[in-house]
Copies of this chain bind each other. A is one copy, B any other.
């Protein structure tokens, strides 16, 4: 018996003109796995996420930039790039490509 999977990260992308959409792929005791689709979204300047939990995130389509509060460094990401963000490491989305969907996979450590 051969079956296809019905779960594909790149299926059913929201038809975004602008913004970001979150989908929970797995909610477990110690981990939440989330798909984030962004298009042209950026967080306001000097507005930081300060998360109580660590996060490991990989960009799997598109192009994006993240900024970190501690040194204001801007990190440029392309498909396949991943980064670990420790708890309370303040960061923001500086830019996502306005021309195509950026697809992130975020692993939140609860």
Tell me if B56 and A2 are in contact (CB < 8 A): no
Cβ of A2 to closest chain B Cβ, rounded Å: 5
Copies of this chain, how many? 2
Query: A37-65, CB under 8 A of B: which get 1 and which 0?
Result: 00000000000000000101010100001
Q: B109 contacts A107, CB within 8 Å?
A: no
Please give me the residue from chain B that is nearest to A29 by CB atom: B109
Q: How large is the interface on A (under 10, 10 to 19, 20 to 34, 35 or more residues)?
A: 35 or more
The residue of chain B having its C-beta at the shortest distance from the C-beta of A2 within the complex is B74
A residues within 8 Å of B by Cβ?
A: 1-5, 7-11, 25-26, 28-31, 33, 54, 56, 58, 60, 65, 71-84, 105, 107, 109-110
